[in-house]
Amino acid sequence: MKFHMHCGIALTAILLTLTPSASVLCAQGSDARTEAFVPKDNGGAGDVIVHAKFGGLIFGFEIDATGDEGLLCEAVPQSDGTIFAAVETFSQSTGKILHVLKRSLTQDDLIALVVAGSVGLVEREHVISLFNIERTFQLIDPLFSSKLTGRWTPGLDSKHIINQVKPALDGSSNVAVYALDVSTSATPLVFSSNLAANTFGPFIEITNVDFTTEAPPVLAFDPPRNQAILGHDKPSPFIVPPVIGFVDLITGVFTEKTGLGLGVINGIAVDSEDGILCTDTSFDSAVQFYNLSDFSGVSVLLPGADPQTSTASGADVEFDPVNKLFLVAQPFSDGKLDNGSSIQVYDLAGNLVESIDGLNFQGGDNVFPVHIALHPARRVGFVNGPDLTTALQSFNY
Backbone angle region of 44, left / alpha / beta, with phi > 0 → left and psi within -120 to 50 → alpha: left
Is the full-model pTM beyond 0.85?
A: yes
Give yes or no for residue 357 having a pLDDT over 70.
yes
pLDDT band at residue 238 under the 50/70/90 scheme: confident
Give yes or no for residue 10 having a pLDDT over 60.
no
Cα–Cα distance, 14 to 25 (Å, whole number): 21
pLDDT band at residue 365 under the 50/70/90 scheme: low
**DSSP notation for 129-172:** ETTEEEEEEEEESSGGG-S--EEE-----TTEEEEEEEE-SSSS
Cα–Cα distance, 234 to 258 (Å, whole number): 9
CB 165 within 8 A of CB 173: no
Main-chain phi, psi angles of 279, to 5 degrees: -135, 165
- In this structure, which amino acid lies at residue 237? P
Give yes or no for residue 122 having a pLDDT over 80.
yes
Mean pLDDT over 70-77 rounds to 98
3-state SS, residue 20: coil
Cα–Cα distance, 354 to 333 (Å, whole number): 13
**What would the pLDDT profile of 273-312 be if each residue is shown by its tens digit?**
999 999 999 999 999 999 999 999 999 999 999 988 889 9
Mean pLDDT over 309-318 rounds to 95
pLDDT of amino acid 219: 98
Mean pLDDT over 307-324 rounds to 94
Residue 123, judged by CB atoms within 10 A of its CB (0-12, 13-18, 19+), counts as: buried
pLDDT band at residue 364 under the 50/70/90 scheme: low
Nearest to 14 by CA among 350, 301, 228: 301
DSSP single-letter state for residue 212:
T
Express as a percent the part of the chain with pLDDT over 90.
81
**What would the pLDDT profile of 194-212 be if each residue is shown by its tens digit?**
999 999 999 999 999 999 9
Mean pLDDT over 92-115 rounds to 97
pLDDT of amino acid 3: 32
pLDDT band at residue 4 under the 50/70/90 scheme: very low
pLDDT of amino acid 222: 98
Give yes or no for residue 7 having a pLDDT over 60.
no
Backbone angle region of 95, left / alpha / beta, with phi > 0 → left and psi within -120 to 50 → alpha: left
Cα–Cα distance, 290 to 349 (Å, whole number): 9
**Facing residues of 374 across strands?**
381
- In this structure, which amino acid lies at residue 94? T
Mean pLDDT over 144-162 rounds to 96
